[in-house]
Structure 1
Amino acid sequence: MSCCLLLPAPRPPPRLCPHGSPCVPQVLPADEAVEMMLVHMTDPSNASHLPLRPGASVVLVVNNLGGLSCLELGIVAGAAVRCLESRGIHIARALVGSFMTALEMAGVSLTLMLVDEELVGLIDAETTAMAWPNLAAAPAMSQRQEVPAPIEGPGTAQHETSTGPGAAQAQLVLELVCSTLLDMQDKLNELDREAGDGDCGHTHARAAQAIQEWVRAGPPPAAPAQLLSALADLLLEKMGGSSGVLYGLFLTAAAQPLLNRSDLPAWADAVDAGIEAMQRYGGAAPGDRTMLDPLCAAAQALHALRSPGVDLLPVLATAVQSAEAAAEATRHMEAGAGRASYISSAQLLQPDPGAVAVAAVLRAVLEGLRS
């Protein structure tokens, strides 16, 4: 297919249509297959050909004969749209699905119908037919239409400017976090080779490099909620792996309690919210030998931030110590989630790399705030 890597292979034999009659020989690239089908359908030498001229309007049906995946069917549909557009044909509607199958035959059929506005209106009419797709009343086209993101207005705490001591301190903390993860790349990879892909260090280094580039482009937001949300989007896009998703979940949820307040109790609430999101969507729990173990240990210590008159740094130092102890304790845990859960606990002799990374990040945050 046009968008997949194909190994050289002999051409497959001819297939049968749903009625059992021989079809044209199969061609591997989707664009060539569609072009061949359309040439056959529009060939004037065929008595049943469809006369298609530039400017004509058609309804396109891309029918799965039963054995194609949604991905394969979408590739063929895209090729058909591009091929028709190149001929100057307007695709008033496109129906893509399994309408007439031959059990699980690995094949596809194309149907074209010349239409005018009246016919298009009838096709768009409501029906109780169960198999008829609920189409949007819009033409099909290969060009993408990008919708600009809404511009958020000022007026809430999360829209503070990226200036002042808050932004400078956030930048210092991020720089320490990034340098820590880059320095630990080989160590995390080595830990991950015991029960994973051996790429935990690479994944965290990729996140660190993305954050460094982001910070170099401009100072980070001073508002905590805006900072965490921006980091979540960045890691979801750039970090990769399950770690990127989990960090993104944590930061997105942690930003919510900080939208309109940034006092110390709000930070304790933020950590709890992030952990709750990771547990809900990730399926892990404390004791499963994951990054949740140091996070939950730190969260317990951070609950002290809800006490009146408490000082941040001593509480955070205690939380970091708890996180480091919990990360080390994963060495003796039986994995209940992640790739390590497929490995016998007798073979797991090192601490979980994700847990070690989280504890190191928390230590870097503490050192950055102390500076």
Structure 2
Amino acid sequence: MTSKKLLNSVEGCADDSLAGFVACNPDLQLLQGHRVALRSDLDSLKGRVALLSGGGSGHEPAHAGFIGKGMLTGVIAGSVFASPAVGSILAAIRAVDQAGTAGILLIVKNYTGDRLNFGFAMEQAKAEGIPVEMVIIGDDSAFTVLKKAGRRGLCGTILIHKVAGALAEEGVGLEEIAKRVNAIAKAMGTLGVSLSSCSVPGSKPTFELADDELELGLGIHGEAGVRRIKRAPVDQIVTLMLDHMTNTSNVSHVPVESGSSVILIVNNLGGLSFLELGIIAEATIRLLEDRGVQVARALVGTFMSALEMPGVSLTLMLVDEPMLKLIDADTTATAWPHLAKVPVTRRKRIRTAPREPSAVPEATAVGGVAPKQMMLVLERVCTTLTGLEKHLNALDRAAGDGDCGTTHSRAAKAILDWLKEDPALDSPAQVLSKLSVLLLERMGGSSGALYGLFLTAAAQPLKTKTDLPAWSAAMDAGLEAMMKYGKAEPGDRTMVDSLWAVKQELQAWKSTGASFLPVLTKAVENAEAAAMATKNMEAGAGRASYISSARLDQPDPGAVAIATIFRAILEVLQTQGA
């Protein structure tokens, strides 16, 4: 099945994309009649070496994102995943030469089409008397046996753009830059892994993977890799990648070993979330440091993509202090990240958290819920919520992101883990405060914050008394705090509806003096009825308020969860004869 993409036309997508990038960047210009982007200030390069690069489109922000002072002078773009035309390459060379530059270096990734077309243009330019040199970058570390075509050019190429650009800014000559770049390129390697393929506009995906498979050692044009591996935690995948990249029996390995200092690039191949990139970056830095490798600089983001491919590549380049000076040199290229000019390794990453204030002695459970009952109540609530996970998720999919059950189950597991530590449960106020912290830290989302607010406020009336009227006051305080900050009121189709039903019954109980268990039984029944009634309500708060009421034909999952919690509490107290 052909993938969907937002285009004007398949034929014009490369032109439209480059034109859009230039339209947003006043420092760039298009070369008329060609798919070429150049610095607007070419005249400022008079007497210095210019740098041209390029290749197929579909690798954005490469290549145009790396045009700027301190990096590339211009780029020549081909169609998606296709080498640029010889005529456009030659036109770019001529335009830059006419600005009075002191020679032109072509930085070309090692692909047959790019070698041929850039090489042909270079020979023609030299025949016209233009000083031009070309370096071919191959940083692929996938192949254990070197192919005749050599290593493919991958994300490591942008480091060459940066180093060569810094040398050109220093006024270094063309031949010297080419010589140094060729030496540097031998000290880096790149390896990619992907969850699935990408698809060229108008075409189907280039390969298929099973749900439990990943592709290792693939390029940046949707081509398959060198092997398929089973899906595994990120630590295992990164370990496999680093082992492959640095294995000395691999002819395309990068010579990184204990004591080495490297620059690391964690490059999004197009379809990974920033969440995943962060996980991969942390694992890679930690695992490199475990091997004794010093990470001098780390670049994390999208630098050289393969359209929408959901994968990542890791690039390692050996560096020393002179090399770091070139990497740290200023550039105006928009896709080059702002890097701190200090090593990643050996930097203190953890700040000690402030100590919590000393606890003030609080009332113990005299006349209220005893520690044993508290333990039983919490265990019953947690096991009930864990069993309700799928049902709450199903209810939440109609009005939210389908994770209400998961968040409640996560909270339940956090509480159960805490209970295994055999905590003191004789102070209800301290128990509610601890639960508040647990849910804020472990439950997450708006639910965690709302429960945290409720429990923090509910703990206050229980600091001095723990009798039944104090528990009723705790209910009032918790609900007031939740409504104040959550902005939900009864009738808004939220968990407040169930809580409000319990509150109303408890208020009536305080004035009648009836036995507590019958009152709680009635309160739970009212909470369950209130939860069911939410399916007929117009959502007035929360994520569901953005959804058409026609789609809301199930009860609110938060309200159902609250009613379930109180039902679990009631069942324990009934069993204990409270």
Q: What is the aligned counterpart of 1:334 among 535, 538, 551?
A: 535
Measured in 2, the distance between the counterparts of 1:2 and 1:123 equals 28
TM-score by length of structure 2 reads: 0.43
What secondary structure, in the 3-state scheme, does the structure 2 residue paired with 1:286 have?
coil
SS in 1 for 2:480: helix
Query: Which structure has the highest strand share of the two?
Result: 2
Whether the 8 Å CA contact 2:520–2:570 is kept in 1: the answer is no
Cα pair 1:173 1:368 within 8 Å, conserved: no
3-state SS of paired residue (1:334): helix
1:159 is aligned to 2:360:
yes
Q: Which residue of 1 aligns with 2:480?
A: 272
Helix, strand or coil at the partner of 2:296: strand
Aligned equivalent of 2:499, options 295, 299, 314: 295
Aligned mate of 1:325, from 521, 526, 529? 526
1:240-278 CA-partner distances (Å, limit 9, x unpaired) = 798xx736632444414755975759633333113445x
- Identical positions, percent: 28
Gaps of 5+ in 2: 1-192, 196-209, 230-236, 397-401
Residues 75 and 318 (structure 1 numbering): CA distance in 2 closer, same or farther, change over 3 Å? Answer: closer
How far apart in 2 are the matches of 1:57 and 1:184? 52
Q: Within 5 A, what are the aligned runs for 1:182-193? A: none
SS of the residue 1:325 aligns to = helix
Deviation, structure 1 residue 152: 2.1
CA contact (8 A) 1:295 1:323 kept: no
Aligned mates of 2:522, 2:324 — CA distance in 1: 68
The residue identity in structure 1 corresponding to 2:315 is L
> Could you say which structure has the larger radius of gyration?
2
Q: How is 1:245-260 mapped onto 2 (pairs within 5 angstroms)? A: 246=447, 249-256=450-457
CA distance in 1: counterparts of 2:437 and 2:503, whole angstroms: 23
Please, which of 412, 427, 452 is the counterpart of residue 222 of structure 1? 427
Return the alpha-carbon distance in structure 1 between the equivalents of residues 343 and 524 of structure 2.
56
Cα distance change, pair 323–140 in 1 and its aligned pair in 2 (3 A): same
**Corresponding position of 1:114:** 319
Shift of 1:172: 5.0
Correspondence 1:69-218 to 2 at 5 A: 69-70=273-274, 73-74=277-278, 77=281, 80-81=284-285, 84-85=288-289, 88-105=292-309, 106=311, 108=313, 110-116=315-321, 120=324, 130-135=334-339, 139-140=343-344, 149-154=353-358, 159-160=360-361, 164-165=364-365, 169=369, 171-175=371-375, 177-178=377-378, 181=381, 207=412, 210=415, 214=419, 217-218=422-423
Q: C-alpha offsets along residues 279-316 of structure 1, whole Å, 9 cap, x if unaligned? A: 45xxx7634665432202233566789xxxx7796698
- Aligned equivalents of 1:159, 1:125: Cα separation in 2: 55
- Cα 1:129–1:109 shift into 2, 3 Å: same
Over 3 Å counting, the alpha-carbon distance change for 1:148 and 1:39 in structure 2 is same
The alignment partner of 1:110 has SS state of strand
3-state SS, counterpart of residue 133 of structure 1: coil
Distance 2:368 2:390 in 1: 34
Structure 1's 208 and 97: CA in aligned 2 closer, same or farther, altered over 3 A? closer
Give the direction of change, closer, same or farther, for the CA distance of 1:37–1:248 in structure 2 (3 Å limit). same
Give the root-mean-square deviation of aligned CA atoms. 5.9
More helix by percentage? 1
Compared with structure 1, are the counterparts of its residues 362 and 66 closer, same or farther at alpha carbon in structure 2 (3 Å cutoff)? closer
Gaps of 5+ in 1: none
In the alignment, the residues of structure 2 paired with residue 314 and residue 164 of structure 1 have an alpha-carbon distance, to the nearest angstrom, of 24
Contact 1:188–1:353 (CA under 8 A) maintained in structure 2: no
3-state DSSP of counterpart to 1:60: strand
- Cα 1:246–1:39 change in 2 (3 A) is same
Q: What residue identity is the alignment partner of 2:479? A: V
The 3-state SS of whatever aligns with 2:535 is: coil
- Note the C-alpha offset of 1:231: 1.5
Higher relative contact order, chain-length normalized (CA < 8 Å, sep 6+)? 1
Residue 114 of structure 1 deviates from its aligned partner by: 0.6
Alpha-carbon distance in 1 for matches of 2:269, 2:574: 62
Q: Are 2:258 and 1:63 aligned? A: no
User: What is the total number of aligned residue pairs between the two structures?
Assistant: 342
- CA shift in 2, pair 1:12/1:271, >3 Å: closer
Give the equivalent residue in structure 1 for 2:567: 360
Residues 134, 166 of structure 1: alpha-carbon distance in 2 compared, 3 angstrom cutoff: farther
Q: 1:64–1:73: 8 Å Cα contact kept in structure 2? A: yes
Question: Cα deviation per residue 1:154-209 (whole Å; 9 max; x = unaligned)?
Answer: 3xxx6326x84459845255246347648978997998799589x97xx6799499
- In structure 1, which of residues 19, 32, 35 is the aligned counterpart of residue 240 of structure 2? 32
More deviation, 327-336/75-84 = 75-84
